[in-house]
Structure 1
């Protein structure tokens, strides 16, 4: 499986995963520096079955998150958004957008609309820098495109960030307009969130700092509770004339780029030896403002450098923020060797590649896919005698000199201090004034809501039931099919195809059938809504009974009146003249009919799950994976049919891709499944097509085999108890396959 390791004893982390994967609830994941917000995002990216887009407010933040910018995804103009603002249409208002002007400015192509309509999860990373008016603009766009007036058009939004870090940027002229509509520019003051509260979860297990005294001071700064004694403790580390020894490898954190550049340039110039300028390789479309590393990296032997990426290899020899010294530069081989003062193994790195992506929707596979627009390749290093506080966000340092002079901006004290693992590595070049450690009271007030949600498990289970109820009702929504088919019928008059009149008559009958089915579906949705409305006394058995009856009414009508009829129509018209485009459109509609049929069958699974309340959490996981996996299999089979190829079993498809050299993560991404599903597919071939050690390392396999041999009569759950938490059930299954059990 994936090399990704997760701390499953981190309760808040696992609750957050459940909210994202098993509900449609909008969630804000926050946490102090070093609590694993970046790790959480990576985990969701690898382990969520939902069609998602990952975004961030800035180009660099988007690159680091592995996504795109909010402005790029939604084609947002740069300016101020006030939905009902009365524009004067003079130059002074040129940067102000109301709803009408917003829609006249953005370019919502058919492909862009398809993406926004099909998304199931929108991730917004580094949300501390997102403005309230930006979020309201996004909401207006989503409600319009998705034809749904629920918050964000019914799309689940996952917000990730720490509000105690860098705040949104707003100019005085912009705030003069916004102040009449918002109490602050922080995202949580967006109008759309006033009536649709977020579930807030705070990751509170700190992995960065272990110094309890330091943690207490950082917490006090966050909560506006920093005492005079705490401030005095911090300022006791003030050493104006401190000059570190080179081998101590301190990094200076400054408030401005200019200061950091001057320090790095001076230090580099003081080294003897030849300076080498290592240029980045930029291909195709990659905006300069989004470069994640220096376009030209100037290095000498002996230069102090910092890694700006985690080691993607299995050995994890370096991490984002680790500081070392350049030992060797090989321009022929294209490598840089770095040593470390702690005696850890020397690392030789090559250029790494960042991708500028945009999202596209592939209807045939029902996937949101990433299209690479351009790449940026550079050594994952930067000079590390100094860095700005802004660029230090997300990094970890053992030793740092904080030199912000008198220009501490909002949030900068906390960001700078929280980069350190302990106070032992702190040196202040300037005294921290008391005003610089005040946190915006609205941020403190909002953050305290997360701490007050003590009944989070009850909220989670209710959200899970609501989610299943929503999926159940969505299964009986016919409006999408009716609109799509009606639009095709309307377009028939303008078409020049052989057999046009017969085709018109055919679709008039199809629309009539859909209208009849839509009326029945609407009545059943009303029934479902009434059954689900009384949350304290929901009769899940009755829901299961009614849903089963409804599905059994719809399925034969869908098969005969829609799917079979349209299939025959396609067969007839694909041999006629001038019908290729028409037939392609018919196949797309047929795919939607088949997907709706699958949704109806999934409704039975969901209804049964709701009625089985004794093991709800396990059932919830089964539904999440089963529903999505089955849908992907139908789509894959449809694609195979369209290509005239042999319909492969879904496990065989995964095997073929694995034998072609693709990793499990790559196969999961390509097929739109979670990695665990692909892993399960491949386990079936252990002992025949796949070697066990291709899926699990030899040491772990030997442990499993020893325990199974010693306990041949034990069940899988009993074996797992004996093997420990690092062994999963699929691992045990591999061992059993090896032994022929």
Structure 2
């Protein structure tokens, strides 16, 4: 069930999408010139919120809403959920923003310039997204201002319009105080004139975020309910303003024993041990192996096979 904060934003989106569906139905049944000149603006929202405010839950609710309104056929994409990384995309049941929209990818630390798709690739992506109603971009803090521009330009190409983001509804979700883009500047920063010329092939820079996005925020924290001390600690870390009390609390949790000894200690705490954070992969893998070995079940190993997809498919 949505809390009152989530429901407020959900109802706003619901009202817009239902109105859009009603206009589409009228257009299908009438040839009214006034309807065809309808200039209702698409949704362009940034839904902010700290960790635990239910952003992912709201995303799932919006996807279900789109399904309820339009009843997409199997394989039909009407609500495109994307994120800047594979893990982030997996967490919300989506694809990476680069894969779905075929965006330029950075190689060896060098920023790629924008390129238009081949006629064949453009035909495929147009077919894939022909009934798209809304785009949801999760973990927007990791999307650079340049990739935001690339997304806008790609959507222009796909839908044949110079309106922002192909005149599609678009929701950006995340916390801009979380992880920043790798080798890039945040979405809210204006692109430098140099990058505009060398990467976008344009003459003038524009702050897309400032020009287009409406702000809203989730404020009710569901995850840290009943633990005000932990919530305040996380909030101070989020703002980069650690108090002496927070620093002392964090230091008190640092363990100096071996990983094996720490595992034995955690094992004795039963079925709900605390989370352990490690700065090195080897240490993390070691304690995970110890925990897995303690399970009284058959161990099954699944071998991963990487395959290069050269078809250009976005499915």
CA RMSD of aligned residues (A): 3.7
Equivalence map 1:67-466=2 (5 Å) = 67-79=94-106, 96-99=111-114, 102-103=115-116, 108-170=121-183, 180-181=194-195, 191-196=207-212, 198-209=213-224, 210-241=226-257, 243=262, 244-248=265-269, 249-266=273-290, 276-280=298-302
Corresponding residue of 1:45: 63
Aligned ranges 1:486-565 → 2 under 5 Å:
none
Instruction: Answer yes or no: is the 8 Å Cα contact 1:135–1:190 preserved in 2.
Output: no
Matched residues in 2 for 1:256 and 1:106: separation?
45
1:55 is aligned to 2:82: yes
Residues 167/288 of structure 1: CA separation in 2 closer, same or farther (3 Å cut): farther
Report the alpha carbon displacement of residue 215 of structure 1 after superposing the two structures with TM: 1.6
Q: TM-score, normalised by structure 2?
A: 0.67
Q: Give the alignment of 1:661-700 within 5 angstroms.
A: none
Q: Is the 8 A contact 1:31 1:203 kept in 2?
A: yes
Distance in 1 (alpha carbons) for counterparts of 2:307 and 2:231: 38
Q: Render the CA deviation track for 1:56-96: whole Å, top value 9, x for unaligned.
A: 2222332332222211211123128xxxxxxxxxxx9x955
CA distance in 1, matches of 2:55, 2:290: 35
Decide which of 4, 18, 33 is 2:51's aligned counterpart. 33
Contact 1:133 1:190 in 2 (8 A): no
Task: Quote how far apart the aligned CAs of 1:237 are.
Answer: 3.5
C-alpha deviation, 1:124, in angstroms: 1.1
**CA apart distance, 1:216:** 2.0
Q: Write out per-residue CA displacement over residues 401-460 of structure 1, whole angstroms, 9 at most, x where no aligned residue.
A: xxxxxxxxxxxxxxxxxxxxxxxxxxxxxxxxxxxxxxxxxxxxxxxxxxxxxxxxxxxx
Whether the 8 Å contact between 1:55 and 1:125 is mirrored in structure 2 is yes
Aligned-partner Cα distance in 1 for 2:299–2:236? 44
1:184-217 Cα shifts (integer Å, max 9, x gaps): xxxxx98422322x22222111111121222222
Distance 1:63 1:268 in 2: 23
**How far, CA to CA, are the matches of 2:216 and 2:145 in structure 1?**
20
SS at match of 2:5: helix
- Return the offset for 1:160: 1.6
CA-CA distance at 1:110 after TM superposition:
1.9
Residue 39 of structure 1: CA displacement?
Answer: 0.9
Whichever structure has more strand as a proportion of its residues is: 1
Instruction: Give secondary structure in 2 for the equivalent of 1:254.
Output: coil
- TM-score of the two chains, using structure 1 as the length reference: 0.31
Between the aligned partners of 1:97 and 1:105, the Cα distance in structure 2 is 17
Residues 308-351 of structure 1: CA distance to partner in whole angstroms, max 9, x if unpaired?
Answer: xxxxxxxxxxxxxxxxxxxxxxxxxxxxxxxxxxxxxxxxxxxx
**Structure-2 separation of matches of 1:137 and 1:153:** 12
| 1:21 and 2:14 are equivalent in the alignment | yes
Unaligned runs of 5+ in 1: 1-5, 81-91, 183-188, 290-357, 360-370, 372-741
SS of alignment partner, residue 195 of structure 1: helix
Taking a change above 3 Å as real, the CA distance of residues 245 and 143 of structure 1, as seen in their structure-2 partners, is closer
CA 178–259 in structure 1, closer or farther in 2 if over 3 Å, else same: farther
Contact 1:136 1:191 in 2 (8 A): no
Alignment of 1:659-738 (within 5 A): none
Residue by residue over 1:657-709, the C-alpha shift from the partner in whole angstroms, topping out at 9 and shown as x without a partner, is xxxxxxxxxxxxxxxxxxxxxxxxxxxxxxxxxxxxxxxxxxxxxxxxxxxxx
Q: Secondary structure at the match of 1:32?
A: coil
User: 1:27, 1:200 within 8 Å by CA — same for their partners in 2?
Assistant: yes
Q: CA deviation at 1:139?
A: 0.5
| TM-aligned CA distance change 1:224 to 1:263, over 3 Å | closer
Structure 2: any 5+ residue segments left out of the alignment? 17-41, 71-77, 186-190, 197-204
Tell me how far apart the structure 1 counterparts of residues 211 and 160 of structure 2 sit (CA, whole Å).
Answer: 19
1:281 deviates by 8.8
Using the TM superposition, give the Cα deviation of residue 137 of structure 1 relative to its aligned residue in structure 2, in angstroms. Answer: 0.6
Alignment match, 2:22:
none
- Greater fraction of residues in helix: 1
Q: Structure 1 residue 136: deviation in Å?
A: 0.8
Q: CA deviation at 1:13?
A: 0.7
- Alpha carbons of structure 1 residues 97 and 234: separation in structure 2 relative to 1, 3 Å: closer
Contact 1:77–1:105 (CA under 8 A) maintained in structure 2: no
